[in-house]
Structure 1
Amino acid sequence: MAPLPYATLIPASFVWPLKFCTGTTLVAWVLSLITGNVSQVDRIWTFMPTIYTAYFALLPLWPQEPLLPFWPNTPETVHSLVRQSYSPRALLMFGLVFTWMCRLSYNTWRRGLFNLHDEDYRWQIVRNKIPTWLFQIVNFVFIAVIQNVILLLLGIPTHIAAFQQPTHLSTSDYVLGALALADIAMEFVADNQQYSYQTYKRTGVIEANEWPGARIQWTPRDAKRGFVTQGLWAWSRHPNFFCEQSFWAIITLFPLLAPETPNLPSLSSGSMTPIWPLLPALVLCALFVSSTRFTESISLSKYPEAYRVYQSRVSMFVPFLTPVWGLLLLLKGKKAQVDEMLFGQGPTKGGKDE
């Protein structure tokens, strides 16, 4: 079935999401001013992409007129087929994003980050570095507005899929769906390994009922090192962040690799396929790269020697590059020493080879 054309560059189906995004942005900003805690968006990060994805995937479900303020609705000007028929591709994407939300919500809950008094420790460091007036500008422009816009952008791929109106799932849908589930599972393992390590570092006790993949025999040497280097963290300095970026890249590809041409409005007069559908994944990657560099600067200040060695041995995100870094260190004659420092378990000599 041919995909349905967009009526304008800002479809009627974006009216409610834009309204909802504006409302959550203002509420988050006002709460940050009242409480002095700027992590309000952090607490809703796990839910917002799912809300937008659900709205686009379930367009036939919503009434034409909102029942209450901010109640989702599907305007009459939205194409009749979209208002009447569910897209199996959009529903699959919604299911995957819902699964992603469950994983992230669980990890957020067990770390206590839903506590209204909790604030990302990095914001206090930013406060200490810049004047108060400049921090408030950062609070409004980046923390409140830009982050909420990014969360809205993550729903765009499902919006595109809803307008493709496929009659059935294609091979690309099944392949991408399997990759997305594997990605979520790997990110869950990375979260569990980090949580297990931090628990051991804090208590000195290895929990007996850890999730599969996180049952690692931590040692006092691991705790003394200060940061996790075992499991997936021996292959990527941030395997959870790598999986997070990969997941949204996979979601972005669903409508773009589908047999149905996306039929998207181009922002230029040329005939080239527009690249703006890649914007959600690209913007999220840019956010993670900049945020991770800042986080690593803090880690370097805490563990200047060990973390710098970790950076030279293990890739920031992509695990496939770690063997390359290992080969370069081997050619320099430093690999054994570096591996002993990062992965060694014994009191004098351990090591890890790849």
Structure 2
Amino acid sequence: MRHGCESAASSAMSSKNLGNATVALLSPLPSIFFYLTFLNCHSDDGSLSYLWAWCHHHPLLLANILFFLNVDLHFWLVGLLQSSHWMIDLYWMVIPILLLHYFATHPLAEFDKWRSRLVVSLTWAWSLRLTHCYFRREKWQWGAREDWRFTDMRRHYGHNWWWISFFAIYLSQQVFLMAICMPLYAIHRNVKGVNIWDAVAASVCSAGLTIAYFADTQMHRFVRRNEELQTEGKGRVAILEQGLWRYSRHPNYAGEQLWWCGIAIFGWNVEYDWWFVGPMANGVCLGIVTLLVEQRMLKEEFRAEAYRNYQKTTSLWLPCFRLPKHKET
């Protein structure tokens, strides 16, 4: 009987996983189909209809409209139907890729091909790293759970959450994502040749990717080991204080911020006036997340005291040597 229940539960989980994977893969298709239609919209005489002419002359507005309709509205409705806003978490690492190729293939695009190829390669590496981290954390399941911060807000706002979630999760993330991706647009609107600053930008991006990868991997191993200890009935380790986590409380966020600083240097190099907005927006986003994470750590009884000591001795973001612990008198 127990075996039958476990088999039924496993079957239901597999069905849910397949369903969520199908929803996630199909969700961006309306925007992709619309854009491909636009790219092939020229008539035999080369003329454009009003709609396609507008799309041709307003690439940024079009990108924002597609984002609003296909992500903000569509993902929000899916989240309401499923009672879980898990999909935006997955697409945080996919949307910059979609925007990058949109900027590079738009009819008004003009750019140095070597810089573009470099940025495309780096951005794909960034996306694959985050995607791998996401699925590894979720035990290779699609939509097994929504972000714990959204779950906390759901409990806090109660019956008003259904409409607040549209602004708190989707519209706000459109502002952040479009802001941090603007250097990708600037890179594909300037034909300036590659120079030493592109090498600097690529180095900064690579350093950020490396730091974030190792930090996430170390945390993944720590979490899995704690799960094993709990299964064995042994006490869990309260704080990860090894590897990069010995020198920073959030080295993964430090790496992520460094990555976007590298992208901003690419934008600055092509004389994009608002190159600094991306790192500022990402810094604000990560700052909010950092505050929420630290508050959560201090609410967990078994690690609260250890985490308070960790805060006193370890840098918030930037890795640096640990401070000595103060002895209480």
Give the TM-score normalised by the residue count of structure 1. Answer: 0.69
* Residue number in structure 2 paired with 1:121: 148
Q: Structure 1 residues 261, 286: CA separation in 2 closer, same or farther (over 3 Å shift)?
A: closer
SS of residue in 1 equivalent to 2:85: coil
- SS of the equivalent of 1:243 reads helix
Tell me the equivalent position of 2:276: 278
Instruction: Give the share of equivalent positions with the same residue, in percent.
Output: 22
One-letter code aligned to 1:110: R
SS in 2 for 1:46: coil
Cα distance in 1 for partners of 2:271, 2:175 equals 26
The structure in which a higher percent of residues are helix is: 2
From the superposition, tell whether residues 124 and 13 of structure 1 become closer, same or farther in structure 2 (CA, over 3 Å): closer
Question: In the alignment, what sits opposite 1:216?
Answer: none
Is the 8 Å Cα contact of residues 187 and 240 (structure 1) preserved in structure 2? Answer: yes
Give, in angstroms, the shift of residue 93 of structure 1. 1.6
Offset of residue 117 of structure 1: 3.5
Structure 2 letter corresponding to 1:48:
I
1:18 aligns to 2:45 (yes or no)? no
CA RMSD of the aligned region, Å?
2.5
Contact 2:265 2:275 in 1 (8 A): no
Cα distance in 2 for partners of 1:300, 1:194 equals 18
Q: Are 2:253 and 2:317, in contact at CA under 8 Å, matched by a contact in 1?
A: yes
Assess, with a 3 A threshold, how the Cα gap between structure 1 residues 237 and 100 changes in structure 2: closer, same or farther: same
Shift in CA distance, 15/124, structure 1 to aligned 2, threshold 3 Å = closer
Q: Distance in 2 between matches of 1:149 and 1:21?
A: 10
Q: Residue in 2 aligned with 1:34?
A: 81
* DSSP-derived class of the 2:188 partner: helix
Q: Is there any run of 5+ residues in structure 2 with no aligned partner, and where?
A: 1-55
**Which secondary structure does the structure 2 equivalent of 1:155 belong to?**
helix
Tell me if structure 2 keeps the 8 A contact 1:47–1:101.
Answer: yes
- Retained in 2: the 8 A contact 1:87–1:164? no
**Aligned amino acid, residue 319 of structure 1:** P
Change (3 A) 1:261 1:116: closer
Partner Cα distance (2:100, 2:208) in 1: 19
Deviations 1:292-347 (A, max 9, x none): 11111111011221111111111111113x44xx15x4xx556xx9xxxxxxxxxx
- Aligned pairs, how many? 268
Q: Deviations over 1:69-94 (max 9, x none)?
A: xxxxx35xx3xxx35x5543233222
Alignment correspondent of 2:172: 146
Does 2:132 correspond to 1:106?
A: yes
- When the two structures are superposed, what TM-score results if normalisation uses the length of structure 2? 0.74
SS in 1 for 2:146: coil
State the 1:150 CA deviation. 1.8
Give the equivalent residue in structure 2 for 1:236. Answer: 248
Do residues 202 (structure 1) and 227 (structure 2) align? yes
Query: For 1:114 and 1:173, how far apart are their aligned partners in 2?
Result: 37
The letter of the residue matching 2:308 is: R
**Distance across 2 between alignment mates of 1:239 and 1:101:** 18
Pairwise CA distance, 1:192: 0.8
